Structure 1
Amino acid sequence: MTVLNNTTLPHLPGNILVPAYDRSKVTPGIAHISVGNFHRAHQAVYMDRVLDRPGQAGWGLLGIGLMENPHEAEKAKDMAAQDCLYSLTECAPDAPNVVRVIGSITEYMYAPADRAATIARLADPAIRIVSMTVTEGGYYVDENGVFPVDHPLIAEDLKRAVPHTVFGLLTEALRRRRESGAGPFTILSCDNLPQNGHVARTAFLGWARARDAGLAQWIEENVTFPCTMVDRITPAVHPDDIRRLDAESGIDDRIPVFCEDFIQWVVEDKFCAGRPELDAVGVQFTDNVQPYEEVKLHMLNASHSLLGLSGVLSGYRVVSEIMEDLHEVTLVEQYLAFDAEPLLHAPPGMALTEYGRRLLHRFRNRAISDQLLRIASDSTSKLPMFIKSTAMGVIAHRRPVDRIAFVVACYAEYLRGHDDKGQAYAIVEPHLTDDDRVKAASPRLEDALDMSAFAGWELGDNPGFVQVYLSLRQSIRDNGTRATLATVVSKGK
């Protein structure tokens, strides 16, 4: 196998697509916080396309690892060893895989190793956009739109001379830029949040006001926070995947990524310091991202939550496997048609029924086989983003609540940590509180409706919903998830 770096790039197997631009002439104009698989399969791909256009060499990517853990530290070493290059395998459901090397990330910094240096780099006037994928729960803004400065992690960070959080790092960099006259940069959220730009603005201004009111005002007046909608199914990459991907490509790549062939990015055109020619490479710019994000969040992401939670409990572990279960497919079809779609307003030119059919086609892509445990992880943050508005709309319109109650019951049962077959699995719920765990484990099953994931849903105030929820949750325990699901979908509309 051929190792991957700048020197070997021209000598890779002929079937591998490689950057046509001269990477030595590329300089970062965008810093990206938290360089996970999704960023490397999505935003970095668009930037790879941009850099192939004339006059765009100043829009390379500076990757910044934020979390202090062994995995992120190892990723930084791998990025350095490979000159920030990595292979991306794009998998279509009905065509051969396409392998390309992505070259748009030209520098990488591991912030915990030297946060002061990271701040200094962000203060460089060449950086005109800072994008981020810090997960749905990484913004700390509560259901009332308040950034909790008294949260222990935030309060501790506010006391530090050199902050650790993304809010502190970027705010301190902006302070230096204001003092030096370098000007602001755009803060671009790429996370699955409704109105993610507004949420990011609330979080950063909340942190800044607690630190320096004058700086907060400058940020409010000068920094832009565009809303975005991002879409591409990108599974986690495990050691077996690395061996498989490398064997298929013939590249000795420590950090390969694979994803579906579908890709979409819709962005609000609000950039205070300029932007690359993303509109020339497939990015859709609009004055109103909200209809696009609502469709994606409440159809694709919500469907993933339904499949993830019920699938894990049923003993499934990958999406393509669960898509062979007629009841699971029917659950998604019914949820989309009868619960989500009637409450959505489609963007111009989009037919919701066709969008739903395409989702199911994408989910059946066996080459992807996204991990259900990954999809189910952090449901404490995901359910409010993906299910809440549909749930409240269904209840308000007095429609059947069975599918909503089923996913709520599945979430509570998922937190017990074992499936219907008795197999244990790891529960990855970083935003689950100790109080949540007590309520999830309570013998009074209705106590789970007061967990933080359901704050503001008012589920416990609806006797009809509570009755259906209790019946379904007890049925999952007595009869199993699959049998319970069969009764749910048998009711149809």
Structure 2
Amino acid sequence: MTPLTQPVDDERIILHIGTGSFHRAHQAWYLHRLRESGDSCDRAWSITAGNIRNDMNPTHEALAAQNGTYTLETFSPDGVREYESISSIQQVLPWSPDHASLIECGSSRACRIISFTVTESGYYLDNHDKLDVSHPDVVADLDGGCTTIYGVLASILEARRRAGGGPVTLQCCDNLRHNGERFRAGFAEFLTRRDLAALKQWVETHTTTPGAMVDRITPRPTPDTCMRVLAATGFDDRCPVMSESFAQWVIQDHFIAERPAWEKVGAEIVDSVLPYEEAKIRVLNATHSCVAWAGTLAGFEYIHEGARDAEIARFAHDYITQDVIPSLLPSPIDLQRYRDIVLDRFSNPHIRDTNERVAADGFTKLSGFVVPTLRDSFARDEVPAPTAILPALFLAFLTRWVDGKLHIDYRDSLQDTAAIRAMLAAEDPIAAFCSDRRVWGGLTSDARLIDAVRNAYGTVNRWLASRLDTSRRVN
């Protein structure tokens, strides 16, 4: 067991990097609940928050102006709205290119945990979990820069090492599969390539990186979120957060210094996160993307609209039931019940999560969320027809987006628009689609994959044609 907070007079700080909605609806909320319900030891913990990039400065500055306090608005599937003032962020650090305030906080003895929320692409890892040393951001940081999570942490931990700041836990709070071990491997490679041998040795002996699985649907706040918060609470909040009422946090018990007693407020502290992580990523994350791509093709704007559509719901249900569940058994989780809970959550009309948000970064999501089930199904000598529907939906989505038939702002960190157009203009677009090793890994250009996606693409196009035909007859 890792040490919990001991009776102390001084504060215990979590330095969190990334002040977006997801962190504030999740980790910050759990710590707020602990501080509010716990004894003096629990209240000794607080969050100091900062960012690596300046693209969120308006929200970050609004949070600073409110002294770190903000409102969390939650919606249950049956429409119950609740508003909670969150005060676990006790300090908001100003952004600066040299990250001086992050380095100062992270090197202090009061800081016992450095946590961070980044996107899958923010880890800069290839399909073999090796550092993508060709990426311009990584290249810049290997040359002494400080623009990635690796460069920033190298600066923080080097200052901590020199200052005698003591052991510190590096805690991932995001959706990357095997986030703790994959981050640690990427960071070790970064330190090696940057010739920081002394720091690498210090990191190996003075830090741990527990894995974690986090789950709470957190859409971008809508323009009227501030108005609802003001009407409900009287607080003119300039940076509120909205999320579903459901929340889950499973954390590997692998902390090198003290940690908050999160289990008191519902977090699960376990020896292995793996079964929970695999269920969440394959059942929830992959299906979320499925509903977003299919819903956009069907003309819907919001996730709940697609989740309530019988044909789209069947795509999602068949994918989980026929391919995912057999891949995950045996499991400590009741996977059929979990499937039903997830699909019910997606149908919540009060969240108003947009397809545009969830549909983004499709190539990365295929790699992380969908490819493992395809691989497992092929290993069982099964034809994963239900799973192949997901990449086929994404390919149909891209085709219509490039043709200007989808009026959304699609963004992808792995492929730019020119590369997508070139892929779709190939003599065999499906074969070209299945040829990117960054997406498909060991399945790249596999005849079984190409055949499955080709058949599924036909199914998707027939489905779309049927919807169009029905629409014409109705009109």
Give the alignment's TM-score, normalised by structure 2: 0.89
Contact 2:167 2:256 in 1 (8 A): yes
The alpha carbon displacement at 1:113 in A equals 5.0
Q: Could you tell me how far 1:466 is from its partner in structure 2?
A: 2.3
Q: Distance in 1 between matches of 2:369 and 2:181?
A: 17
* Deviation at residue 133 of structure 1 after TM alignment: 1.0
Residues 454 and 158 from structure 1, CA distance in 2 versus in 1: closer, same or farther, beyond 3 angstroms? Answer: closer
How far is the alpha carbon of 1:198 from its aligned partner? 0.4
Aligned to 2:401: 418
Is 2:436 the partner of 1:451? yes
Q: 1:90 Cα deviation (Å)?
A: 1.5
Matched residue SS, 1:382: helix
C-alpha distance in 1 between matches for 2:97 and 2:452: 51
Question: How far apart are the structure 1 equivalents of 2:465 and 2:363?
Answer: 20
Do the aligned residues in 2 keep the contact of 1:291 with 1:347 (CA within 8 Å)? yes
Quote the offset at 1:429 in angstroms.
0.6
d(CA) in 1 for partners of 2:62 and 2:308? 37
Q: Residue 401 of structure 1 contacts residue 468 of structure 1 at CA under 8 Å; is this kept in 2?
A: yes
Offset of residue 148 of structure 1: 2.6
1:60 aligned partner, one-letter code: S
Aligned position for 1:331: 315
Find the residue that maps to 1:480 and give its secondary structure: helix
Conserved? CA contact 1:266–1:284, under 8 Å: yes
**Is the CA contact (8 Å cut-off) linking 1:383 and 1:453 kept in structure 2?**
no
* 8 A contact 1:84–1:106 mirrored in 2: yes
Q: Would the aligned equivalents of 2:436 and 2:444 in 1 still touch at CA under 8 Å?
A: no
Matched, 1:320 2:304: yes
Alignment of 1:133-148 (within 5 A): 133-148=117-132
Q: Are residues 1:439 and 2:423 paired?
A: yes
Partner of 2:148: 165
Residue from 198, 202, 205 that aligns with 1:218: 202
Matched, 1:74 2:58: yes
Distance in 1 between the 2:17 and 2:183 partners? 13
Residue from 48, 52, 60 that aligns with 1:62 = 48
Q: Provide the C-alpha distance between the structure 2 equivalents of 1:482 and 1:44, rounded to a whole number of angstroms.
A: 46
C-alpha separation between the residues in 2 aligned to 1:209 and 1:27?
Answer: 34
Amino acid at match of 2:204: E
DSSP 3-state at the match of 2:224: helix
Q: Give runs of aligned pairs for residues 19-418 of structure 1, distance below 5 A.
A: 27=11, 29-52=13-36, 53-54=38-39, 55-69=41-55, 72-94=56-78, 96-112=80-96, 114-160=98-144, 163-211=146-194, 212-345=196-329, 347-348=331-332, 350-416=333-399, 418=401
Q: Structure 1 residue 286: deviation in Å?
A: 0.8
- Taking only aligned residues, the RMSD between alpha carbons, in angstroms, comes to 2.5
Shift of residue 396 of structure 1?
Answer: 2.6
Residue 62 of structure 1 aligns with an amino acid whose one-letter code is T
CA displacement 1:311-352 (0-9 Å, x = unmatched)? 12221121211122101111111111101000103543x211
What is the CA-CA distance between 1:355 and the residue it aligns to? Answer: 0.9
Is the 2:12–2:112 contact (alpha carbons within 8 Å) kept by the matching residues of 1? no
Counterpart Cα distance in 1 of 2:391 and 2:92: 40
Normalising by structure 1, what TM-score? 0.86
Distance across 2 between alignment mates of 1:369 and 1:346:
35
Q: What are the ranges of 5 or more consecutive residues in structure 2 without an aligned counterpart? A: 1-8, 471-475
CA distance in structure 1 between the aligned counterparts of 2:80 and 2:463, rounded to whole angstroms: 42
The separation in 1 between residues aligned to 2:266 and 2:120, in whole angstroms, is 25
Secondary structure of 1:157's counterpart equals: helix
| Percent identical | 32
Provide the residue aligned with 1:491 in structure 2.
Answer: none
Gaps of 5+ in 1: 1-24, 487-493
Counterparts of 2:340 and 2:263, CA distance in 1: 27
Cα pair 2:295 2:305 within 8 Å, conserved = no
The change in CA–CA distance for 1:339 and 1:483 in structure 2 (over 3 A counts) is: farther
Give the Cα–Cα distance (whole angstroms) in 2 for the partners of residues 453 and 376 of structure 1. 18
Is the Cα–Cα contact under 8 Å of residues 361 and 412 in structure 2 kept in the other structure? yes
C-alpha separation in 2, matches of 1:372 and 1:346: 33
Q: How far apart are 1:468 and its partner, in Å? A: 4.3
Per-residue CA deviations over 1:446-491 (Å, capped at 9, x if unaligned) read 211113553315253225x42342344356567737659x9xxxxx
Alpha carbons 1:37, 1:257 under 8 Å: kept? yes
Distance 1:481 1:81 in 2: 52
Which SS does the other structure have where 1:173 is aligned? Answer: helix
Give 2:110's aligned amino acid: A
Query: Residues of 1 paired with 2:162 and 2:404: CA distance?
Result: 61
1:219-272 superposed Cα distances (whole Å, 9 cap, x missing partner): 122210000011111111132333344334432111111111111111011111
Distance 1:468 1:262, change over 3 A: same
CA distance in 2, matches of 1:189, 1:266: 12
Are 1:315 and 1:419, in contact at CA under 8 Å, matched by a contact in 2? no
SS of match in other structure, 1:285:
strand
Rounded Cα–Cα distance in structure 1 between residues aligned with 2:329 and 2:461? 37
CA distance in 2, matches of 1:148, 1:128: 29
Distance 1:416 1:250 in 2: 47
Q: Structure 1 residues 307, 481: closer, same or farther in 2, change over 3 A?
A: farther
CA distance, structure 2, for counterparts of residue 317 and residue 27 of structure 1: 46
Deviation at 1:93, TM superposition (A): 1.4
The number of aligned residues is 456
Shift of 1:203: 1.8
**Counterparts of 2:420 and 2:206, CA distance in 1:** 39
1:269-317 Cα distance to aligned partner (Å, 9 max, x none): 1111210111211111111110110111111111111111121222112
* Alpha-carbon distance, 1:421 to partner: 9.5
Q: Output one character per residue of 1:112-157: Cα deviation in whole Å (capped at 9) or x when no partner.
A: 3551232122111111101111011111121112113343211211
Question: Residue 92 of structure 2: SS of its match in structure 1?
Answer: strand
